[in-house]
A and B are shown apart, each in its own frame.
Chain A
Amino acid sequence: DNVLTQSPDSLAVSLGERATINCKSSQSVLYSSDKKNYLAWYQKKPGQPPKLLIYWASTRGSGVPDRFSGSGSGTDFTLTISSLQAEDVAVYYCQQYYSTPQTFGQGTRLEIK
């Protein structure tokens, strides 16, 4: 299986400050044929389903604020929230959809400092 390891496990950031979450994949998720990284980021709040934030590693989902951005390629990826808002408190997951089984990172809990 392709293991995704997120760091850190939890993160406390002040309102208006930058938050950065990393995701390292044990195998490359870059598909040579289409040059796309099959890596997504989701935001999960209690009692709600995961919300798609980023796909193809760096494309924002529909309606996602532009303070959320994704970067990286191959095996190393980053989710950045440029200016933390109170509503961003959540658990964030990376997910690869390149190979079977599709796998998720263990999650990063983001809180307000």
Chain B
Amino acid sequence: QVQLQESGPGLVKPSETLSLTCTVSGGSISSYYWSWIRQPPGKGLEWIGYIYYTGSTNYNPSLESRVTISLDTSKNQFSLKLNSVTAADTAVYYCARGGYGDVKDYWGQGTLVTVTS
């Protein structure tokens, strides 16, 4: 059974960089799409972007200037970096696996990141 688990700081200061890692177990990261999605408190879901197992990336244009998603196949992990954060980046961040066409079939439990001084 594939499992995904997000990890990283729960608090980030404004203007700093949010860094999260998703560890994949029960399957190889050397295939599929690997995505980040977030949900601000009380709001809907927002797609941040994905990295394909080949290393190619696709980002939400609204975040593209601040986002980097990377893959570490040796650790079966992928990561999210979002720089210059503001309070608007406070959200539960989810990692997810995408199958053919990027159908997101497995998700992490999510981790709350709060941007606060």
Contact = CB atoms under 8 A, between A and B. Distances in A.
Interface of A: 36, 38, 40, 42, 44, 48-52, 55-56, 61-62, 93, 95, 97, 100-107
Q: Name the residue in A36, A51, A52, A56 with the highest tally of chain B Cβ atoms < 10 Å from its Cβ.
A: A52
Nearest to B102: A97
A102 to B, nearest CB: 4
A52 B61 contact: no
Interface size class of B (residues with CB under 8 A): 20 to 34
Interface string B50-66: 00000000101110000
Contacts of B60: 100-102
B109 A40 contact: no
Closest 8 A/B residue pairs (Cβ): A49-B107, A102-B47, A101-B60, A55-B103, A104-B45, A97-B102, A107-B44, A52-B105
A64 to B, nearest CB: 11
What does DSSP make chain A's interface, helix, strand, loop or mixed?
Answer: loop
14 contacts: A36-B101, A49-B94, A49-B96, A49-B107, A51-B107, A52-B103, A52-B104, A56-B101, A95-B47, A95-B104, A100-B58, A103-B47, A106-B44, A107-B44
Given A50-B45, A52-B104, A95-B45, A101 B109 contact: no
A49 B110 contact: yes
Given A40-B103, A52-B103, A97-B103, A104 B109 contact: no
Contact of B101 (A51, A52, A97, A104): A97
A3 to B, nearest CB: 12
Interface string B83-117: 00000000000101010011111011110000000
A106 B43 CA distance: 8
A106 B44 CA distance: 6
